[in-house]
Amino acid sequence: MMLQESNRIGRIAMLFALADAGETLTTPLPNGWRYCTGKVGSMNSQKIVAAMETAAKSSHIIETDVYRETHALYHAIMEALYGVTRGQVQLGDVLRTVGLRFAIVRGNPYDRKQEGDWLAVALYGTIGAPVRGSEHEAIGLGINHI
């Protein structure tokens, strides 16, 4: 439904992250694009970062042994975390925890070929006190060239 213009990589990643179990995007991914999704919950920000890096590598979104790809992903993850944490990239240190769905999409969102591949990291979930129900939603998006 939502995806008319098919190459907006951040929007696509966010729709994946927002999608509930069983929902599917109504527009196919552009040719040659790759993505993965996953879930992670923790008070430990290190684990959040690690879960996304592991997913991206095991899904072959990025090449494990090429540092520039890891570097591109790392900064996209950090930028997405700014949106989720809104001020200080801290979770347990300030007594809060997150439960997140993430989507990582790789492709060229621009018309011209020389723009190459880009990464979008989208996060959607909840943030709050480590008490069931004491939480509200949070969202983040990071975009980087790769």
Q: Which of residues 41-70 bind its own copies (CB under 8 A)?
A: 45-46, 49-50, 53, 66-68, 70
Contacts of 92 (CB under 8 A, 6+ apart): 43, 44, 45
Q: Is 107 in the site for its own copies (CB under 8 A)?
A: no
Tokens 């599917």 found at: 24
Q: Which of residues 1-20 bind its own copies (CB under 8 A)?
A: 1-2, 4-5, 8-11, 14-15, 18-20
Q: Which of 29, 55, 61, 74 binds its own copies (CB under 8 A)?
A: 74
- Rounded least distance, CB 9 to its own copies, Å: 7
Distance in angstroms (rounded) separating the CA atoms of residues 29 and 86: 30
- CB burial of 1-34 (b: ≥16 within 10 Å; e: otherwise) equals eeeeebeebbbbbbbbbeeeeeeeeeeebeeebe
- Rounded least distance, CB 27 to its own copies, Å: 11
Contact 13, 105 (CB under 8 A): yes
Judged by CB, which is closer to its own copies: 39, or 67?
67
- Rounded least distance, CB 144 to its own copies, Å: 8
